[in-house]
Amino acid sequence: MKRFVDNRFGLLVLVVVSLAAMYGIAYVTRPAVTPPAPAQPRKVAVESVTAVCPGTKGEQVNVYLPGTLNGETMENGKPYVTKGPGGLEAGYLTRATAGAARGLAGVRCTEPAPETWLLGPGPANADVRLHLTNADKAPALADVQVYAAEGRISSEAGLGLEIAPGEHREIDLKTLAPSADVMAVSVTTTFGRVAVAARATPETGGVDWLPAAAPPSTRVVVPGVPGGGGLRRLLVAAPGETDAVVEIKAVTADAQFAMKGRETLDVPANSVTALDVTTGVAGSAAALVLTSPTPIVAGLIATGTGERSDVAFTAGTPSLALGSAVARNATGSQLLLTALGAQPGKVRVQVVPGKGTAQAPFDVEVPAGRTRAVKLTAKGDFAVVVTPVAGEVYGGRLVEERRRTGVLLTTQPLAPARMFTMLPPLAHTYDVVAP
């Protein structure tokens, strides 16, 4: 009996040892655990677009849908609102050869957004009118903040602005920040959505609309800097509570370089700083690349030459990874394309006229670290579509008209097309319902 018991426990020990050996071998020979790849934004198609333009009585708005271009005259001065499927673009150009508002002015119809940034001349030396439009069926509440060289200076009159469904407000920014020589304006909504535009008429002459700038980021690219004579002033805002030390590089047709004496720019927190880069770009078409450990917003003022100078504005914008389209162009239009990174860039360009069939698309190659100007030979009203092919490319659209009294000009950074959008990764979490 004792021998049987001993054998039974011996058998148990043998089983335990065998199992341990098997688990040990399995542990040692198990395949390496590959951590899941971090979630990346997804490119998804846009199904519906609402675009809003500030009204200008009697002017023609061009509305582009993939492959087609139509024009519609604004019969009154009310905002122009158009809705359609993904890919819709709309905008217009105005042209005046005399008067205080002499010049070319181009505007892109913008989508209602929770936040919009604009940079340009301040109300101290320009007539700046801010247009706020609520195109939705629900009320909106907006805050307007103005940043200047001396800091954030807007009054409480710009806070808590109630905008009823379908309502449009025009605000003279002199009532909010009369002392600002240069400015950055942020329009944020507490609830609802507001479409934003601003028209600036400097005392020195000229007129144009301020393009929406890319939101605060540690890397900002300002494309579409016109070549030729005239002043070029870079505006950089640091809207946070930390000072920004900004590194600046210019990218022209010949080189990518740090401009002598303008390699860096110190921007105090909650303020805007202006830098004259006229001699830095030396009259060449260019883009400016800004990097900073502190998020910044940037834009540029370009002044034309002649007895009566015009003015144009460009601003930081994303790359052409999602493509772009400009609905309203005219004779004298050109694209200013810049390729960044180690690889050359390539885009496909197509001109879509208001009448007749669209032109065959053509490819444009841009050397790495260079800017290339591409003249558009179409006449009359037309849309231009830019599709990415390769590389990291940024761009702007420039329209110039040379007159005896001075050059008329307007610029527009190539904003992402509304055909696709990047959907951020989503995760299951109870935080959304936590108090």
- Predicted model pTM: 0.88
Residues 65 and 138 in one domain: yes
Q: Give 148-163 pLDDT, tens digit per residue.
A: 999 998 778 899 999 9
The verdict on 17 and 117 lying in the same domain is: no
> Rounded to whole angstroms, how far apart are CA atoms 207 and 345?
33
Inside any domain, residue 37: no
The phi and psi torsions of 8 (rounded to 5 degrees) equal: -65, -45
Same domain, 25 and 54: no
Stretch (H or E) spanning 3: helix 2-29
Q: 9: which residues sit within 8 A by CB, 6+ positions away?
A: none
122 and 233 fall within a common domain: yes
In angstroms, the CA 398 to CA 396 distance is 7
pLDDT of 37 reads 61
Buried b (16+ CB within 10 A) or exposed e, 107-144: bbbbbbeeebbbbbbbbbebbbbbbbbbbbeeebbbbb
Structural domain contains residue 144: yes
Does 58 lie in the same domain as 15? no
The answer as to whether 352 is a domain residue is yes
Residue 342 lies in a domain: yes
Return the pLDDT at 187: 97
Q: Is 45 contained in some domain?
A: no
Domain assignment present for residue 351? The answer is: yes
Verify that 59 and 17 share a domain, yes or no.
Answer: no
Instruction: Mark whether 2 and 92 lie in a shared domain.
Output: no
Phi, psi dihedrals of residue 4, rounded to the nearest 5°: -65, -45
For 84-196, where are the alpha helices, taking DSSP H only? none
Domain that includes residue 370, residue range: 50-423
Cα three-residue angle 405-410-415, rounded to 5 degrees:
175
Asked whether residue 296 falls in the same domain as residue 372, the answer is: yes
For the chain, the domain total comes to 2
Residues linked to residue 45 through DSSP beta bridges, in sequence order: 420
In the prediction, which pLDDT does 4 show? Answer: 45
Region of 281 on the Ramachandran plot (φ > 0 left; ψ -120 to 50 alpha; else beta): alpha
Does one domain contain both 1 and 59?
Answer: no
Would you state the pLDDT for residue 433?
52
Same-domain status, 207 and 261? yes
In a domain, residue 434? The reply is no
User: Is residue 66 included in any domain, yes or no?
Assistant: yes
pLDDT of residue 434: 54
Contact residues for 326 (Cβ-Cβ < 8 A; gap 6+): 89, 91, 108, 383, 384, 397, 412, 414
> CA–CA separation, 412 vs 312, rounded Å?
9
Spatial distance between the Cα atoms of 109 and 209, rounded to a whole number of angstroms: 11
Do 342 and 378 lie in one domain? The reply is yes
Residues of the chain with pLDDT under 70: 1-21, 23-40, 422, 424-435
pLDDT value at residue 17? 60
Do 161 and 58 belong to one domain?
Answer: yes
